[in-house]
Structure 1
Amino acid sequence: MNNAIVDRIGKSLLIILIVAVIWIIVSKMTKAYRTRKNGGTPLSRASSLKSVISDLIKGAIILLVVLTILQINGVDVTSLIAGLGVVGAVVGLALQDFLKDIIMGIHILIDGFFDIGDLIQYENEEGVVVSFNLRTTKIKSVDDDDIITICNRNIMSVVKRSGEVYIHFPMPYELKASDAEAAIAEMISRAKLNANTSDQVLADTGHTGDVPNRSDKSEKHKNTGSIYTDIGVESIADVRYLGTTGFESSYIDYLIVIEPVKPELYKRARRAFLRISQDVLDEKNIAIPFDQIDVHVK
């Protein structure tokens, strides 16, 4: 009797030891492969997917080891599996939303809906993805830096944003096309010039944040630095004129696209460009047209 117990315990410990050694070896090999494959910095989505698959395999191995040890120690595994099936069905019904989150989380990873650092829109909120797991996605709002948690089962309502800003500029019909395009060219030139100057100011003063402090400018740039630094011109990476997009009832519509330094800075870049445009329009005495109603009285 005692020999039988010792024999079962020995077999159980041997199985645990073998599985533990294999587990450690495979884990180290997988980690080394992932690091070598991606140059020392694994891609977040690929890393997450591999982590999920790894967790599923580990769970299956643990379950198999437990059932094997129970079988060795005389437990009726067949009845146990049947009981677990019934319990699993009940738990599955009770945790439908949880399971939906898990399934959609895997779906996100496999199809690459978005990655950490992407700008996405969820309902009326826009933010940068700061963390992701199989159940939830967390984004940092571009408006107030609030952290918003989204259940993955709602993934179909999420839109990935490019960050580019399209601005429609209305110009009066009385203004020649050449003059309108000259004004737009001045806006773009001034935006690029001030963005580059602002970048140089940040480099010379050692600023690394998104919002520079104008009072900390060096003597070298006090008189030559961008006058638009405080309104976020440093967030503009590029500005392009796309041409005429329509002839409306009271104005001609011109289209401009702004590319921000980072997608989440697109609102700051838009505000900065509009402020620069306002100065150019004032200097050239160009009034933005607005809809008017003519009333004829007999």
Structure 2
Amino acid sequence: MNIIEDLWKDFYQYITNAELWLNIGQGLLKIVLVLVISSVFIRIGKLAIGKIFLFRGKSPIRISERRENTLAKLLENILTYVVYFVAIIMVLETLTINVGALLAGAGIVGLAVGFGAQSLVKDIITGFFIIFEDQFSVGDHIRVGNFEGTVEEIGLRTTKIKNWTGELHILPNGNITEVTNFSIHNSMAVVDISIAYETDIPEAERVIQELLDEVPDKYEGIVKPPELLGIQTLGASEVIMRVVCEVEPMRHFAIARMLRKDIKLRLDQHGIEIPYPKMVMFNKKEQVG
């Protein structure tokens, strides 16, 4: 019984020690200050990075906007990782943990784990070469395997691609082996027009060409005037004519839709028929012998 009472007295004296709670309070205050200062530093750093690239954008010597956005995102990620790493070290020191011994032990463990984390190293190295070689940048429209969309972010480990329906695909950089980039060179809008066999082909070509001569002044994003290539295919019930137009990157879908509408309205004005499927039924009467 005396042992229990002695233990209780020691414990009571320990928890009622004013110096103990003062040290705990100081430690918590230091941790809170470290976290707050880290968050403020990250926010200021991101603003500074944004200002730097804004000033570079106004200078006569500058890199492309695509590459600026990619580098800005990458620098923000690196800044976040470095600041949080330093903050964690400071928190551990506040908790009186021997950081030097911890880092030495972590180095040995990391060396052992590194052999099993080859995919992580591969992701980082691949991410570095994606950015260094400018394979694609933030804002580009790309296709990687079965995924296609706009690049939202390029990190050292992952790449985020958002498709047109809103889904966000997060791909490890090490899995990106083949990339199709649609945003580097101009796109080609292709429009196929079907007309009936009975139509006067030269007249249809003249009507379409008159319209195409008006298009460059009507729509933005067209690099070269649309060109009527001629008859593309002789179908089962229609003659298919093809129109092509070189446009700015990723503008071919919109321009093609507008061209189809204009061509359809112009053909209707001149009475040129666009064929549609028809069904003809024959009723053969049985002959009685």
Q: TM-score under structure 2 normalisation?
A: 0.52
Identity of aligned residues (%): 21
Of the three residues 260, 265, 281, the one matched with 1:279 is: 265
Aligned match of 1:267 in 253, 276, 283?
253
Distance in 2, Cα, partners of 1:101 & 1:109: 12
3-state secondary structure, aligned to 1:156: coil
DSSP 3-state at the match of 1:92: helix
Could you tell me how far apart the structure 2 residues matched to 1:96 and 1:130 are?
A: 26
Q: How big is the shift at 1:145?
A: 2.4
Contact preservation (8 Å) 1:192, 1:239 = no
Q: Which has the bigger relative contact order, CA under 8 A and spacing at least 6? A: 1
Cα 1:130/1:34, change in 2 over 3 Å: closer
CA distance in 2, matches of 1:288, 1:192: 30
**One of 22, 27, 35 as aligned partner of 2:51:** 35
Using the TM superposition, give the Cα deviation of residue 285 of structure 1 relative to its aligned residue in structure 2, in angstroms.
0.8
Residues 71-107 of structure 1 show CA distances to partners (whole Å, capped at 9, x for unaligned) of xxxx9x89x85x6555233312332322222221111
Superposed, 1:1-298 pairs within 5 Å as: 35-36=51-52, 38-39=54-55, 43-50=68-75, 86-142=108-164, 144-162=165-183, 164-169=187-192, 175-176=201-202, 179-187=204-212, 189=214, 193=218, 195=219, 237-238=221-222, 240-241=224-225, 243=227, 250=234, 254-257=242-245, 259=247, 263=250, 266-282=252-268, 283-285=270-272, 287=274
Pair member with larger Rg: 2
- Give the 3-state SS of the residue equivalent to 1:157 in structure 2: coil
Calculate the TM-score normalised by the size of structure 1. 0.51
**By how many angstroms is 1:47 displaced?**
2.5
CA distance in 1, matches of 2:227, 2:276: 18
- For 2:133 and 2:122, locate their aligned partners in 1 and report how far apart those are by CA, in whole Å: 16
Structure 2 gaps of 5+ residues are 1-43, 58-64, 278-289
Tell me, in whole angstroms, the C-alpha distance in 1 between the residues paired with 2:213 and 2:107: 66
Shift in CA distance, 188/156, structure 1 to aligned 2, threshold 3 Å = farther
Structure 1 residue 278: Cα displacement: 2.4
Q: Secondary structure at the match of 1:256?
A: strand
| Deviation per residue, 1:218-256 (Å, 9 max, x gap) | xxxxxxxxxxxxxxxxxx632744546576562675441
- What residue identity is the alignment partner of 2:133? D
